């Protein structure tokens, strides 16, 4: 097969993703299937060549991250070398009695030429190589990798804060900041991988020692016991083959260990390794000057190798003179000094003014894996599901959620914002599950007590292994991504009215104009202005009434808009028109609706107070307001325990004020006016609240 055909075949293998499976199958085959000595020579040569390429690559890269695949290459090279050891051991033990070339030319060359055919010398050379590799290079590289990984991970939050500070100061753009953050994460991943990869090199060195002794003992047993060889001949033959095999493996292992040591001791800045050594080692002329003086004194001592010392002194002196000349060199013709032309900063424009995000999610650095798809984060997909569900329920497109990390937060905390304002904060444990007590849990579950961020229910942070145990005790168990998504759903639902503006209202009208163009043309701006339509829609959303029936809403506004421009009155008329939808949302499809009413005396008193105060509600005596609130709260709690909706039915004049008064104090209570109940819906009075 020609080189062009090999290149085409390799390209096809890489294109179809077969490279890694082919490598794994090849390694397994080398360990199981007997190999011909010629093929073994080919793989040993390839192993040495690969080690040379790797160590040269670590020398010539500008910074360690440019060789980010190095840990994987290191693992593959180690496995290849171990597979070759297994294959060569098989051949040595099976055919070693036939001569020193039984395991191929490469092992024979290292056994005879490199160590002169003397197995005692071979053992000493092998032992020295193992000591250098295992005790010096591998141990030092492993320690440096461990420390580098630890300090890189510890410095990660500080680097993220520095990036955010530069971004806020305008030094970096959003794209540059994102690139810097990705570089910080890549650096942490690289040094973490190198910490683990250095253990492969250490294990490989230990395996080389064990394989040497196993092969020598096994060869003696096979040669003497099976092939009737003399002990001395068997010792010489199998020891030479084993030492040759060991040297063939230890030299690439030493090269890869050195490559590990080089790459983990490199600085992270982008600079050529040779330039770093020259500039930092020989950059100061005083270093070479002092070295030249010491060498010159040693060269003048009788009995010393004077020529060698004096020659090196001359070399160091010449280097010091050249370095000093380079430092003090002045250009012959120097242009008159002119202040450097600084590029003028561009004028500020409206593009430099950032708008507040409609919906924002800020996370601490420990929660980044939840929102990072590359790390298997599920929260982004959950948020899309929440947006889709809310858009269907509310009747307008909920804006996207802008997610970003915030190092000012606690590592496991997150923050929800609406139009730039903070509306909720909470802290979760990403490595645990949240077991929520819905009210029927029996206890007996070990965990960290907490509160559900969305609804304030009692909950526990438990280990994932206790999920089934917690569910058997009546707990609702959810993962951290679901906790954040549920909290987001609750917050956006409560603040949906703030997310609907003129643009969203215009989108609703544009959709309606496809089926009812005349209605849209007559309504805005002929009968009511766009601002009034937006106010009505916001008030409906504020009271948790969906606006997906935009046609019915616009028809009602068109009917009353010619003579009424008061938003509150138009909202009341629209609620009457949407009565069926409101009742069905509260009580479901059942024909009977349980309601709470006010005693006639209390209702008249409240109406008189509102009329005197101009419908502001400030004229009601505080003690009376507190009494009404507490009794309605008790009745609502009884309805919730009974599994029925809590509905307060009042007169149309009282409904707006009571709705505002009770909206946050009693969230589970719905306030309806008499005229909002459809005629075909039966009412069942469950309580009458008095003052």
pLDDT tens digit sequence for 470-528: 988 889 999 999 999 999 999 999 999 999 999 999 999 999 999 999 999 999 999 99
- Give residue 479's pLDDT: 93
- Rounded CA-CA distance 147/133 in Å is 20
C-beta of residue 640 within 8 angstroms of C-beta of residue 668: yes
- Cα angle, residue 142 at apex, residues 139 and 144 outer, rounded to 5°: 110
Weakest mean pLDDT among 74-88, 566-580, 677-691 = 74-88
Q: What is the CATH number of domain 589-691?
A: 3.40.50.12790
* Cβ neighbours for 519, distance < 8 A, ≥ 6 positions apart: 512, 551, 554, 555, 558
- Interval 444-464 mean pLDDT: 92
- Give residue 492's pLDDT: 95
- Rounded CA-CA distance 250/47 in Å is 11
pLDDT in tens, 667-684: 889 999 999 998 888 899
Asked if residue 147 has pLDDT above 80, the reply is no
Mean pLDDT, the chain, rounded, equals: 81
Q: What is the CATH number of domain 365-495?
A: 3.40.30.60
Asked if residue 366 has pLDDT above 70, the reply is yes
Asked if residue 572 has pLDDT above 70, the reply is yes
- Going by pLDDT thresholds of 50, 70 and 90, the confidence category of residue 247 is confident
Asked if residue 7 has pLDDT above 70, the reply is no
The share of the chain scoring above pLDDT 90, in percent, equals: 33
Of 59-63, 438-442, 535-539, where does the model show the most confidence? Answer: 535-539
pLDDT in tens, 523-557: 999 999 999 999 999 999 999 999 999 999 999 99
Query: Strand, coil or helix: what is 255?
Result: helix
- Going by pLDDT thresholds of 50, 70 and 90, the confidence category of residue 328 is low
- Going by pLDDT thresholds of 50, 70 and 90, the confidence category of residue 85 is confident
- Rounded CA-CA distance 522/402 in Å is 37
- Rounded CA-CA distance 78/606 in Å is 85
pLDDT in tens, 384-423: 999 999 999 999 999 999 999 998 899 999 999 999 999 9
Helices (H), 543-618: 550-560, 567-577, 579-587, 600-613
- Rounded CA-CA distance 606/615 in Å is 10
Give the closest residue to 642 by CA, choosing from 594, 583, 589. 594
Query: Strand, coil or helix: what is 426?
Result: strand
- Rounded CA-CA distance 359/504 in Å is 15
Asked if residue 6 has pLDDT above 50, the reply is no
Structure tokens at 285: 């002329």
- Rounded CA-CA distance 313/665 in Å is 90
Q: How far is CA 457 from CA 61, 412, 619, in A?
A: 56, 20, 36
pTM, two decimals, is 0.53
- Cα angle, residue 361 at apex, residues 360 and 363 outer, rounded to 5°: 150
Weakest mean pLDDT among 169-173, 307-311, 594-598 = 169-173
- Give residue 335's pLDDT: 46
- Going by pLDDT thresholds of 50, 70 and 90, the confidence category of residue 333 is very low
Of 102-116, 303-317, 563-577, where does the model show the most confidence? Answer: 563-577
- Interval 347-362 mean pLDDT: 82
- Going by pLDDT thresholds of 50, 70 and 90, the confidence category of residue 270 is low
C-beta of residue 545 within 8 angstroms of C-beta of residue 510: no
- Rounded CA-CA distance 409/424 in Å is 13
- Give residue 332's pLDDT: 45
DSSP state of 443: -
Weakest mean pLDDT among 308-322, 383-397, 559-573 = 308-322
Query: Strand, coil or helix: what is 359?
Result: strand
- Give residue 551's pLDDT: 95
Query: Strand, coil or helix: what is 289?
Result: helix
Q: How many CA atoms lie within 13 A of 257 on its CB side?
A: 29
- Give residue 1's pLDDT: 44
- Rounded CA-CA distance 690/132 in Å is 93
Asked if residue 460 has pLDDT above 90, the reply is yes
Architecture in CATH of 500-577? Orthogonal Bundle (1.10)
- Give residue 238's pLDDT: 74
Share in percent of the chain as helix, strand, coil (round to 5)? 65, 10, 25
- Rounded CA-CA distance 650/385 in Å is 37
Query: Strand, coil or helix: what is 29?
Result: helix
- Give residue 113's pLDDT: 59
Of 51-55, 86-90, 643-647, where does the model show the most confidence? Answer: 643-647
- Give residue 330's pLDDT: 46
Asked if residue 166 has pLDDT above 70, the reply is no
* Cβ neighbours for 324, distance < 8 A, ≥ 6 positions apart: 285
The share of the chain scoring above pLDDT 70, in percent, equals: 85
Query: What is the rounded end-to-end Cα distance, in angstroms, of the chain?
Result: 100
- Give residue 329's pLDDT: 56
């Amino acid at each position: 097969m020609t080189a062009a055909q090999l290149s085409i075949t390799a390209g096809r293998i890489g294109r179809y993703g077969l490279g890694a499976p082919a490598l794994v199958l090849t390694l397994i085959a080398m360990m199981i299937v007997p190999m011909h000595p010629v093929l073994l020579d080919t793989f040993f040569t390839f192993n040495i060549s690969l080690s040379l390429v790797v160590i040269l690559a670590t020398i010539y890269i500008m910074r360690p991250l440019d060789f980010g695949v190095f840990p994987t290459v290191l693992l593959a090279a180690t496995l290849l070398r171990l597979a070759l050891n297994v294959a060569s051991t098989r051949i040595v033990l099976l055919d070693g009695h036939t001569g020193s070339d039984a395991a191929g030319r490469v092992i024979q060359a290292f056994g005879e030429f490199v160590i002169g055919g003397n197995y005692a010398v071979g053992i000493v050379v092998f032992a020295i190589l193992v000591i250098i590799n295992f005790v010096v290079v591998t141990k030092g590289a492993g320690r440096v990798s461990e420390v580098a990984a630890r300090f890189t991970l510890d410095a990660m939050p500080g680097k993220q804060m520095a990036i955010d500070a530069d971004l806020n100061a305008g030094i970096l753009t959003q794209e540059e900041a994102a690139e810097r953050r990705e570089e910080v994460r890549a650096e942490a991943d690289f040094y973490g991988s190198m910490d683990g990869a250095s253990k492969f090199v250490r294990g490989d060195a230990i395996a080389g020692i064990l394989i040497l002794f196993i092969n020598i003992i096994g060869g003696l047993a096979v040669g003497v016991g099976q092939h009737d060889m003399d002990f001395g001949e068997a010792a010489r033959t199998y020891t030479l083959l084993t030492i040759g095999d060991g040297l063939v493996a230890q030299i690439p292992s030493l090269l890869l260990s050195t490559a590990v040591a080089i790459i983990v001791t490199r600085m992270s800045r982008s600079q050529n390794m040779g330039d770093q050594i020259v500039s930092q080692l020989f950059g100061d002329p005083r270093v070479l000057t002092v070295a030249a003086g010491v060498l010159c004194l040693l060269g003048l001592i009788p009995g010393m190798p004077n020529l060698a010392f004096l020659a090196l002194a001359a070399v160091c002196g010449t280097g010091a003179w050249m370095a000093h000349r380079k430092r003090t060199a002045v250009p012959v013709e120097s242009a008159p000094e002119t202040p450097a032309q600084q590029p003028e900063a561009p004028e500020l424009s409206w593009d430099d003014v950032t708008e507040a995000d409609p919906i924002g999610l800020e996370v601490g650095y420990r929660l980044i894996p939840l929102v990072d798809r590359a790390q298997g984060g599920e929260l982004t997909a959950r948020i899309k599901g929440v947006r889709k569900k809310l858009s269907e329920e509310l009747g307008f497109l909920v804006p996207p959620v802008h997610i970003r990390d915030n190092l000012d937060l606690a590592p496991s905390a997150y923050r929800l914002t609406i139009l730039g304002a903070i509306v909720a904060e909470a802290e979760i444990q990403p490595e645990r599950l949240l077991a929520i007590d819905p009210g029927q849990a029996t206890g007996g579950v070990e965990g960290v007590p907490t509160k559900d961020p969305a609804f304030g229910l009692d909950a526990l942070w438990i280990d994932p292994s206790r999920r089934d145990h917690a569910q058997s005790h009546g707990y609702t168990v959810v993962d951290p991504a679901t906790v954040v998504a549920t909290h987001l759903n609750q917050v956006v639902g409560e603040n949906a009215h703030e997310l609907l503006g003129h643009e969203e209202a215009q989108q609703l009208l544009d959709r309606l104009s496809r089926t009812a163009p005349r209605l849209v043309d007559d309504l805005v701006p002929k009968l009511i202005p766009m601002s009034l339509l937006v106010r009505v829609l916001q008030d409906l959303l504020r009271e948790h009434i969906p606006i997906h029936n935009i046609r019915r809403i616009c028809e009602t506004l068109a009917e009353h808009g010619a003579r009424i421009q008061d938003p509150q009155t138009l909202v009341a008329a629209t609620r009457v028109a949407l009565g069926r939808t409101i009742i069905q949302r509260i009580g479901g499809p059942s024909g009977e609706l349980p309601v709470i009413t006010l005693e006639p005396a209390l209702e008249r008193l409240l109406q008189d107070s509102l009329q005197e105060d101009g419908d502001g509600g400030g004229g009601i005596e505080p003690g009376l307001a507190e009494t009404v609130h507490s009794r309605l709260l008790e009745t609502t709690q009884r309805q919730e325990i009974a599994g029925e909706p809590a509905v307060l039915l009042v007169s149309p004049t009282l409904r707006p004020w009571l709705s505002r008064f009770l909206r946050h104090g009693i969230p589970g209570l719905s306030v309806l006016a008499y005229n909002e109940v459809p005629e075909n819906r039966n009412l069942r009075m469950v309580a009458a609240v008095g003052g």
